[in-house]
Amino acid sequence: MTQELRFNLNELSDVAQTVLKNVQSKTLLFYGDMGAGKTTLISAIVKELGGIDKTSSPTFSIVNEYKVKNDSVYHFDFYRLKNQYEALDMGIEDYFCSGSWNFLEWPNKIYDLLPPNISILELSVADDGTRILKLSEKILSDERSKI
């Protein structure tokens, strides 16, 4: 089932709370064009989880770690990855098996490596400037080709 939310940026805290109440996985995939607000929403979710560190896009570092209440969040930006082997080299499977939160921007770059249970967040910007968030759950097939 897909849930759709329309919101303004001043409502990010409420949206982050709604996301956390409705996700069934700790692996969240963020889809959206550049500027849609993926990193901004991730920052709000980290804050709702109890994080106090400043969050930023890990475009160049590929992954940032944030400490939250009794847990960690690993925030990935796979935009610059040339292939899935780079994700394997950085130990992506260890992150997925850690039991911690994993927030992935540009997850299509590593689709075949994703764990089976994921939450999908699709962000877009409406003509009037409001944001649209579509939240859905998915169980990926084991028929995906593993590298």
Residues 46-84: tens digit of each pLDDT: 999 999 988 888 877 899 999 999 999 999 999 999 999
> If DSSP codes are grouped into helix, strand and coil, which group holds residue 103?
strand
Number of domains making up the chain: 1
pLDDT at 144 over 70: no
Cβ-based neighbours of 98, under 8 Å, separated by 6 or more: 72, 74
Specify which residues 85 forms β-bridges with: none
| 145 within a domain of the structure (yes/no) | no
Interstrand relation of 27-31 and 117-125 (parallel, antiparallel or unpaired): parallel
Residue 73 CB coordination number (10 Å): 23
The amino acid sitting at 45 is I
pLDDT at 2: 85
| 144 within a domain of the structure (yes/no) | no
Report field, pTM of the whole predicted structure over 0.85 = yes
| 62 within a domain of the structure (yes/no) | yes
| 111 within a domain of the structure (yes/no) | yes
The amino acid sitting at 99 is G
Domain that holds residue 26: 3-139
| 147 within a domain of the structure (yes/no) | no
pLDDT at 139 over 90: no
| 146 within a domain of the structure (yes/no) | no
CATH number at residue 120: 3.40.50.300
**Tokens 């500027």 -> residue:** 35
